[in-house]
Structure 1
């Protein structure tokens, strides 16, 4: 046994207890970790929580046979890449071809020769390990390039430059989509193409975020704007653009009814990012409910205040440190959310204003302060 096999996990699916015992003994002696299931239904439940490196699958089983089990495994993104070896007493060529057509990587007849079984198991476990390592390195490489690109462009690149870079990514995505459509569902390359497509999509999303952040290169288009009207149109637009699963209820408390001198597009874009952030805080604290956000406006003698408020448990003091920094990192938080807050703070600062986070009376408040025109 090679070192790379140690610790690999194998799922044995067979309704015959004796077969499971025999296979289990052979594989444990080689250092493999095991999970077992006695029919296809049980096997599908196992892979919901544990992803094996290889599945040894019997054909004739109650409730769900091996063919249907394999078909379902290959139809799901989560389990499509797991290699499946059929183990069965059937030796008819049509049966073998059927199993391979469903996506199995190999087919062994019972009773299995120990040496042949272990060689094939070792081969497919090693191939799976290499494939997973290649996927991991690809994701790490793109993530590292993404980080480097973000810091290279942050506050420096023009929107036109970012657009050119994004167009290159769109071309790569289009090629990946074309490749995915041209491959059979059981072709391992289809999974790889889908992975490329997903990674490029994530890259495009980050480029769009960077494009938002670098808009200050174009300068502000300031004008005297009616604040109640801006708030009303923002809420209307938000409501129209909502999609199922991302609904947010927005209420308003408009106490300042005058004008504000601002760049309408950039200011409302900052509001959008703050509402998104506040809504996510609510979703994390109370999953399954529709977030309820309130937009407040009020004033004093010298300043105008706009607040994005939401009922939630708030965020910790540690989390608040550097909350609006572009490089802010908090365990479990999507880095994109840090960029959202950085962008909002930058917009407010460009308007000679201030943005702060407060927590009071069970509510989070992102408070923006602007000078009166």
Structure 2
């Protein structure tokens, strides 16, 4: 059963910024000031809401919530776009009787167009008036673009003083290949936390979740993960044990949402779990995993349920990772197909046919050169991916 952290409310309305007959504007609000944390895209072109968010959190981690719109990214819009972003915060904050700096903005959608501020003027009062009337599922639906389903995950953790709840929602299906992809995520928690630790914990969890997925090798101008902890429960993350337990719950939520993003990849039909071990370094392992996961040839073979291991070995070889090819072993699940520089004998197509029909497919590479390791979730490429992205602005 969906578990909502104490002291948070949701609101969703249709602003008409791009979509018709659906919610596209969302407010997540804490009843009381919360500790805010964020991790953002590393793209050189950073959208207006990313710029404003980073500036706000640099000055203060005491915030009340997030204001999110879908359909327009407000990216590559110059100083005018930043001014538009700040104006949207002012419109909503005024109705809530709080400071604009207490709200963190996030946007997703088409890059380039500026907001129609007349529509924001009309939508902001309705968004404020309906606070508390929406639920997390409706909020998750309202932030979607090409997503096929809303993505939510939740966990709880207990201590001697109380129970903390963690709830996350995210959107993302294409333009996904973090270092933090058109990817937005929002995590709310009712534990009492230290601001510095909360930011560090969020970054660690993202490095093990959202930064370990790829759909198409593209990263976005708008990638944002925000986390809020308002201390409304009796759970206090004030010891090593309580902090470890809360971080484990946070990681579980992040990894669950990350899996859903790959499961819902634009045109995707498969989830490929790639693990590389025995590399000279973690960086080498990561280079290899990403080369395999981002390879169009590997992805199309996956869609065709073709166990074309040669494409995987070739991707590993061009990855830039330092390794001895004679030490590489490749397995699909428990079946070894390549080792000691040559294929394993046998009717591999017949052996692998039932594995390739599954939605979840394990690709395991071991190198025997060191202790470096990495993991990555990747989708396949289908004909539908081309259709979705060819018609995106239509």
Greater helix share, structure number? 1
TM (norm. structure 1) is: 0.22
Larger radius of gyration: 1
Point out which structure has higher relative CO (alpha carbons under 8 A, 6+ apart). Answer: 2
TM (norm. structure 2) is: 0.21
